[in-house]
Amino acid sequence: MQGWPFGLYDSGADSLYALCLLTRTLRRVSTHTAIDKKNNLPAASRGEIPVDGVRAAPFWLKAAMWAGRGLIVAPPLVFLAVFFLIPFVFALKISFSEASLSIPPFSALWQTVVGGGGHLVLHLKNYRYLLTDGVYAISYLYSLKTAFFATLACLALGYPMAYAMARAKKSTQSILLLIIILPFWTSFLLRVYALEGVIRDNGLLNTVLLWLHVIDQPLKIMRTTLAVYLGIVYSYLPFMVLPLYATLEKLDMTLLEAASDLGSRPWRAFVDVTLPLSMPGVIAGSMLVFIPAIGEYVIPALLGGPDNLMIGRVLWDEFFSNHDWPVAAAVSVAFLVVLAGPLALYQHARIKQLEH
């Protein structure tokens, strides 16, 4: 293999290295070409690379480019296929079956006949049942409402925290980041149980307030909607703070100085400069909070009451209480389509907007 250009060997790392060299070379060629065109130099003296020359690139160079792309794209694709696509296909298959007293507790889609052969049997009654029973629509709408207001609360609390972290000294930022990341070192379930110990009737919060004579009787927080909101905000607040901090920390301070020189007050500079530039962090943090909060099960089950019926709890009841796997699978598939559909359309429209 020695003697190949760029010292290329038959490995992914060297292929990626060759791709980087090729990209840098093409950038330099395009830059010099643009300068020469501006100076009205002839094409022969500019040394332009014709389009046919690029198309007629050597085979090893094309192979290196494809190998480099494959090394970058393959790991996330494999991860999505194993942990998302394959489970989704299984859930979709179960949603078209019928519940039965067997192991597993659903019928097979391929029904064999006595004389030999078989035929495919798809049952749509599970999806029709979702449209006729109002509990699924109510639980889904309640999940949307809860996730939406919890996301707003996380944004209202997380934005000032991220802004203060971004404006702090570099030495202080490390300590503040450690404080934000520290809860991830503890089990999610243990954190919810710890919050329950704080807000229950004889918990830490009521004990301190009674001792200070702020209240005469314990506050009723457990088994309420407020407890569910507190649990979601407490658990998912770091997911809002970290993307916001990453965006605000890269903000160019000279833009704020220029706004101040032009006579803008601090609040006006924040609205006109900081807030628009931080919108990528706001969108990323909101998605990281909103999407898992919709399907939350642990927090409503431990902190909420019977009125806090979210879609995650409905799925649990269908799977493990009613043992109706086909209906549960239909609920999960419909839930994914209704949730992921608008997000996919939004992402598609955003990509189209960036292209234009």
253-264 residue pLDDT tens: 888 888 888 888
Residue 48 pLDDT: 43
Query: Whole-angstrom distance between the N-terminal and C-terminal Cα of the chain?
Result: 44
Residue 230 pLDDT: 96
Is the pLDDT assigned to residue 51 strictly greater than 60? no
In percent, the amount of the chain with pLDDT more than 70 equals 83
Rounded to 10 deg, the angle between the 325-355 and 125-132 helix axes is: 80
Report how far residue 344's alpha carbon sits from residue 356's, in angstroms, rounded to the nearest whole number: 19
Sign of the C-alpha dihedral computed for residues 346, 348, 354 and 356 taken in this order: negative
Q: What is the mean pLDDT of the chain?
A: 82
Residue 299 pLDDT: 95
What residues does each domain of the chain span? 5-72, 133-323
Residue 138 pLDDT: 92
The pLDDT confidence band at residue 162, using thresholds 50, 70 and 90, is: very high
Residue 3 pLDDT: 38
Neighbouring CB atoms inside 10 A of 75's CB total 10
Is the pLDDT assigned to residue 71 strictly greater than 90? no
Residue 56 pLDDT: 54
* 183 DSSP assignment: G
Residue 24 pLDDT: 45
Q: What pTM did the predictor assign?
A: 0.75
| Average pLDDT of the residues in 136-165 | 94
Residues in CB range of 217: below 8 A, 6 or more apart = none
Note the pLDDT tens digit of each residue in 172-193.
999 999 999 998 888 999 999 9
Is the pLDDT assigned to residue 91 strictly greater than 50? yes
| Average pLDDT of the residues in 124-153 | 92
For residue 25, give both structure tokens. Answer: 């070379």
Residue 42 pLDDT: 45
* 67 DSSP assignment: H
Is the pLDDT assigned to residue 44 strictly greater than 50? no
The DSSP bridge partners found for residue 48 are none
| CATH dotted code for 133-323 | 1.10.3720.10
Residue 57 pLDDT: 61
| Average pLDDT of the residues in 38-56 | 46
Highest mean pLDDT among 51-55, 67-71, 263-267, 311-315: 311-315
Residue 33 pLDDT: 46
Report how far residue 317's alpha carbon sits from residue 48's, in angstroms, rounded to the nearest whole number: 68
Residue 210 pLDDT: 93
Is the pLDDT assigned to residue 47 strictly greater than 70? no
3-state secondary structure at position 19:
helix
Q: What DSSP assignment string belongs to 210-237?
A: HHTTS-SS----TTSHHHHHHHHHHHHH
| Average pLDDT of the residues in 296-311 | 91
Report how far residue 233's alpha carbon sits from residue 146's, in angstroms, rounded to the nearest whole number: 11
Report how far residue 258's alpha carbon sits from residue 262's, in angstroms, rounded to the nearest whole number: 6
User: Does a cis peptide bond (omega within 30 degrees of 0) precede residue 276?
Assistant: no
For residue 146, what are the CA distances in angstroms to 143, 150, 231, 289? 5, 6, 11, 11
Note the pLDDT tens digit of each residue in 7-41.
333 433 444 334 344 444 444 444 444 444 444 54
| Average pLDDT of the residues in 76-96 | 91
For residue 299, give both structure tokens. Answer: 């927090």
In percent, the amount of the chain with pLDDT more than 90 equals 44
| Average pLDDT of the residues in 268-275 | 89
